[in-house]
Chains A and B, each alone.
Chain A
Amino acid sequence: METNRVTGAIAGGVAGTAVLTLLLILLEVQTREQIQAFDVIARFVGTPGQTTVGFALFVVAGVVAWPLVFVAIRDYIPRGPDPAAQGAIFAIVLWVAFAVAGRGDLSGPILILYAAYTFFAHLAYGFTMGIVYGHFRGGSQTSREVYAQQ
C-alpha cells in the first residue's frame, strides 16, 4: 500500500510539474520575457541567478518533494476526499511562497498579472497532481460517486 501511494504521488508530481512548466513557459512567451519566470523559480528555490540549477531543483521539488508532503498531510487538507480539490488547496500554499519569494524586482501593474497567472498555474499543478494521484489510488469511477454524495 505504501509503495502504491509513493508511486501515485510521484506520477502526480510528474504530470503536475509538466503542466506547471508548460504554463510558465507560455507566460514567458506571452509576456515576451517580461516576467522571467525561470529566474523567479531560481530565486524561489534559493539559487538566484543560476537559472539552470534553479530549474533542476524546481523539477525535483515539483515531482518528488511536494507530492510526498501532500500525501503525508492529506488528512488535514480541506475539501477531501477528492484528491484533486485537496491538491489545488495544497498548491495555493505553494503559490503564496512562490509569489512572495520569487517576485524579485517585479513591481507595479505587472505584479497583478504575475500574481494572477502564477496563481492559476499553481492551481493547475495541484489539481493535475491530485487527479493523477487519485487515479493511481483505485479508480476514479467509484470514488466519483462517493464525492457526489458529499
Chain B
Amino acid sequence: MVSIDSIPGVVLGGVLLAALVAVGYLRRRRRTMADGGYPTPSERETELETEKPFGLVRWFTTVDHKDIGILYIVFGVVAALWGGTDAMMLRTELITPGKTIWGTETYNGLFTTHGVTMIFFFALPVFFGIANYFLPMLIGADDMSFPRINAIAFWLLPPSLVLVRGGLITEIIGKLLESVGLSALAYPLLALTPIDMSWTMYTPMSSSLANPQIDLALLGLHLSGIATTMGAINFIVTIFAERADDVEWANLDIFSWTMLTTSGIALFAFPVLGSAIIMLFLDRNFGTTFFALEGGGAILWQHLFWFWGHPEVYILVLPAFGLTSLILPKFSGRKLFGFKFIVYSTLAIGVLSFGVWAHHMFTTSVDPRVKASFMAVSIAIAIPSAVKTFNWMTTMWSGNIRLTAPMILIIGGIGTFIIGGVTGVFLASIPVDLVFHDTYYIVGHFHFIIMGIIAMSMVAASYYWFPILTRRMYDQRLAQVQAVLLIVGVTVSFTAMLVIGYLGLPRRYAYYPAEFTLLHQVATAGAYIIALSVFLWIVNFVQSARTGPLVMDADVWNLKESGQFTREWQWFERQLQERRGFERSTPRTPVAEDGGSGGSSDVGDGGEGGGGSDGRDD
C-alpha cells in the first residue's frame, strides 16, 4: 500500500521548496519592470485598465479590487449553496423523530460542515467581497492598498474550502478508484470521512477522534484564518492611507467605519484561533499535551476558541450593521439619525466584544466570580446594539419610506435582530443560560441574527447596488416577493426553534422524542421557504444580469433628491458617461470632471453636517 507516511518528509519538503522557488523565479521574470523597479500607481492603473486579459485568465490573474470583490462574492454564494444543502438535509432528517434518511453519523457530519462552511466560507467572504468592490469607491481610492495581497487572500480560500470539506469528495474519488481496481490508492482516500466534531471543535473529542480528515480540516481552517487576517490588514491600511483628500474621519461613510472595526477585531481574534488550531493539530499528531488533562485541559480550548468565537460573531454582524445604516436612509429619504453615535457604538462593540467570550462557558467549571463579570459585560454590550436599533427607527420616523426590495430586507433584518438580540440578553444572564445552554433556544438565538440581519443585509446590498454591479436592473416585483419570503421563512423556522428549546430539547441530536414532531416540521417548512427564496434570488440575479433592462440614468434610486447620491453612484455616473456617452441625468449636479477628488457633493452620508445639499436644488 502506498502511504504518505512511507515517503521521507525531507523529500516532500524539498519538492515543495523547489516548487516555490520555481514559482518565484517565473513570477520575477514576468513582473520586473524594464528598469528593475516596481510599478508605480499610475503604471499599475494602466495595467489594470488596458491590459486586463479576457476570459478565464482575467479572473485567475486579476488584482483589480472590483474583480476580486466579485470573486469573493461568487465564492461565498457557492459556499452558501453547499452549506445550504447541508442545512436542508438536516431539516429533512428532522421531519420525523426517528431515523428518516441518514441517521446519527451523517447527521453529525452535516451539522459540522454546515456550521464551518457558513461561518468561515460564506458570511465573511461575502462581506469582504462587498467591501472590496465598494469600499475603495466609497472612500475615493483607486484600489486597495495592496492589490496583490488582496488577490492572494482570496485565492487561499478555495483550497481551504476543499481541505475542510474534503472527506466527501475523496470518498467518491476513492470509490471510483476502487471500482477500477486501484484499491491501494483508494484506501487512504476512503479513510477520510467528513468531519463530525461540530464547529466548536471541543476537546477532548476533537483531539481524540481518529479520522485523519480532521487534520486536513484544521489546516484548511488555519489557511482561511490567514486569508482573513491578510484581508483585514488590507482594509485597515486602505482606510487609513487611501482616503481621498476630502474624506475625513468625520465624514467617512458608515460602511467603511464598520469594516474598519470589523477588520480591527479580526486582526486580534484570528491569530488566536490560528494558534489554537495549530496547538490542536500538534496534540493530534505530535504528542503535545496542550489540551490534554495533564496540560491545559478541555477548558483551555474553550477559552481560546471563544476568545476568537465571540468576537467572530461581531466580525460578522458589524458589516451587516454598516450596510443597514447605509441603505436604510436611502429609502427613508432622510439622513442617518445620530451618525456619530452609530460610529461610537460600533467602536464600543469592537472593544467590548473581547470581554464576553466566557458567556459561552457558563455551564463549565470556570470560577463563578469570573463568570459573573462576563455576565455583566455581556449584558452591557446590549447597550451599543440598542443605540443602533433606536437610531435606525428614528431614521425611518416620519421619513418618506419606499418599500423597495432592499428596504424590505433591511427592515426585516432590524426586526430579526431585535428578536436575536433580546434572546441573547436573556442568555447572558447565567441562571437563564444554565437552563437553555445546548438547547434549540441557542440555535434559534443565533440564527435570528445570522440568517436575519446578516444574510438579509447582504441580499439587500445585492439589490441596492445591482445596477452598479451589472449595469442592469433586476425584476423588482420578483425581488419584493423574494424579500418577503426570506423574512417569513426565517421567522417561521427559528421561532419554532426558540419554542423547541424553550421546551427543553437539546440540540445536535438526529433523533428526538415524538412530542416535538410538529414543531420540528414547522421549522423544516420554514427552512424550505428560505430555500425557495434563495432560488428566486438566484434566478432573478442571473437572468437580470444578462437581460435586465439597461440602466441609462445613474440615479436609479432618486438619491439626488435627498442629497444622498454618494461616491459609488457618482463613479457609476462617470462610467455611464465615458463608456456609453450617455447624457447626465441632471446636468446641474456638480460632479467633478477630474475623476479624482470630486466636488462637495462627494461627501458620503457621513456626518450630519456633510455636503450633499448640492443635489437637492432640483
Asked if A56 is an interface residue, CB under 8 A from chain B, the answer is no
List CB contacts (< 8 Å) of A75-109 with chain B: 82, 84-85, 108-109
Chain B interface residue count: which class? 20 to 34
List CB contacts (< 8 Å) of B506-560 with chain A: 528, 531, 535, 542-543, 546-550
A147/B102 in contact, CB under 8 A: no
Asked if A30 is an interface residue, CB under 8 A from chain B, the answer is yes
A110/B172 in contact, CB under 8 A: no
Neighbouring A residues of B172 by C-beta, 8 Å: 25, 28-29
Asked if A1 is an interface residue, CB under 8 A from chain B, the answer is no
Asked if B282 is an interface residue, CB under 8 A from chain A, the answer is no
Give the CA-CA distance A127 to B550 in the complex, in Å.
21
Asked if A60 is an interface residue, CB under 8 A from chain B, the answer is no
Using known A-B contacts A109-B95, A112-B92, determine if residue A30 contacts B546 with beta carbons closer than 8 Å: no
Asked if B376 is an interface residue, CB under 8 A from chain A, the answer is no
B174, chain A: closest CB distance, angstroms? 11
Neighbouring A residues of B169 by C-beta, 8 Å: 29
Kindly identify which residue among A109, A116, A144, A147 contacts B101, using a CB–CB cutoff of 8 Å. A109
Chain A's interface: helix, strand, loop or mixed, by majority?
Answer: helix
Chain A interface residue count: which class? 20 to 34
B82, chain A: closest CB distance, angstroms? 8
A114, chain B: closest CB distance, angstroms? 10
B92/A120 in contact, CB under 8 A: no
Q: Nearest chain-B residue to A35 (Cβ)?
A: B101
Give the CA-CA distance A140 to B549 in the complex, in Å.
15
Neighbouring A residues of B197 by C-beta, 8 Å: none
Asked if A69 is an interface residue, CB under 8 A from chain B, the answer is no
Q: Nearest chain-A residue to B109 (Cβ)?
A: A32
B547/A147 in contact, CB under 8 A: yes
Neighbouring B residues of A108 by C-beta, 8 Å: 100-101
Give the CA-CA distance A150 to B546 in the complex, in Å.
13
Give the CA-CA distance A109 to B550 in the complex, in Å.
43
Task: Flag B164-185 by CB within 8 Å of A: 1 or 0 each.
Answer: 0000110110000000000000
Asked if A65 is an interface residue, CB under 8 A from chain B, the answer is no
Neighbouring B residues of A148 by C-beta, 8 Å: 472, 547-550
Give the CA-CA distance A117 to B81 in the complex, in Å.
11
A109/B92 in contact, CB under 8 A: yes
Neighbouring A residues of B92 by C-beta, 8 Å: 109-110, 112-113
B547/A116 in contact, CB under 8 A: no
Using known A-B contacts A85-B543, A116-B531, determine if residue A29 contacts B88 with beta carbons closer than 8 Å: no
Give the CA-CA distance A109 to B101 in the complex, in Å.
8
Q: Nearest chain-A residue to B94 (Cβ)?
A: A109
A92, chain B: closest CB distance, angstroms? 12
Neighbouring B residues of A50 by C-beta, 8 Å: none
Neighbouring A residues of B547 by C-beta, 8 Å: 82, 85, 144, 147-148, 150
Which residue among B85, B88, B172, B547 has the maximum number of chain A CB atoms within 10 Å of its CB?
A: B547
Neighbouring A residues of B89 by C-beta, 8 Å: 30-31, 113
Give the CA-CA distance A113 to B86 in the complex, in Å.
11
Give 9 closest A-B pairs by Cβ, nearest first.
A147-B547, A109-B95, A29-B168, A109-B92, A29-B172, A110-B101, A148-B550, A109-B100, A148-B549
User: What are 17 A-B pairs with beta-carbon distances under 8 A?
Assistant: A25-B172, A29-B172, A30-B82, A30-B89, A32-B106, A32-B168, A109-B95, A109-B96, A109-B101, A110-B101, A112-B92, A117-B85, A145-B550, A147-B546, A147-B547, A148-B472, A148-B548
11 other contacts beyond A25-B172, A117-B85, with CB at 8 A cut-off?
A: A29-B169, A29-B172, A30-B82, A30-B85, A32-B171, A109-B95, A109-B96, A113-B88, A113-B92, A116-B88, A116-B531
